[in-house]
Amino acid sequence: MKMFLLSDNNDTFTGMRLVGIDGVVVHEREELLKELDRVVNSGEYGIVLITEKLRGIGGDVISEKMNTLRRPLFLEIPDRHGFGRSSTSMTDFIKTSIGLDI
C-alpha cells in the first residue's frame, strides 16, 4: 500500500522522502485542493498523510472526503512545530474508538 504526503513545509517533506514516501509541498488552499483531488482520483494511494496546518486550511473538504471515501485513509500528522492537536487528531480518534474518551 502506497502512502502520499501533503505537507506545508520542506522539512517534513524531506523526512518522508528519506523513508520512501511520495509527496508535495503546498501552501495555498487552491494548491492543496488540486493535489488532494489528483491523489484521491489516482487510486494509487492507500494512505494520505497531511500536516496539521494543511488540515486547517482545507479541513472542510478533507473532512468530507474522510467521511465519504473508503480509500484512501487520511492521517493528520504533526508538523515541524510540534503537536497542535485538533479535536480530529488521530490520537483522539483512537482513544474514542477503544473507549478511552478522556
pLDDT in tens, 44-86: 999 999 998 888 888 788 888 888 888 899 988 887 665 555 5
CA distance 74 to 25: 17
Q: Which three cell numbers stand for residue 26?
A: 503546498
More confident position, 31 or 92: 31
pLDDT in tens, 1-60: 799 999 999 999 999 999 999 999 999 999 999 999 999 999 899 999 999 888 888 878
Q: Which residue has the cell 489516482?
A: 42
Distance CA 62, CA 80 (A): 21
Give CA 54 to chain center in angstroms: 8
Q: Residue 95: what are its φ and ψ, rounded to 5°?
A: -60, -45
Question: Could you tell me the pTM of the whole model?
Answer: 0.76
State the Rg of the chain over Cα: 13
Domains in the chain, CATH or no CATH each? 2-97 (3.40.50.10580)
pLDDT at residue 94 above 90?
no
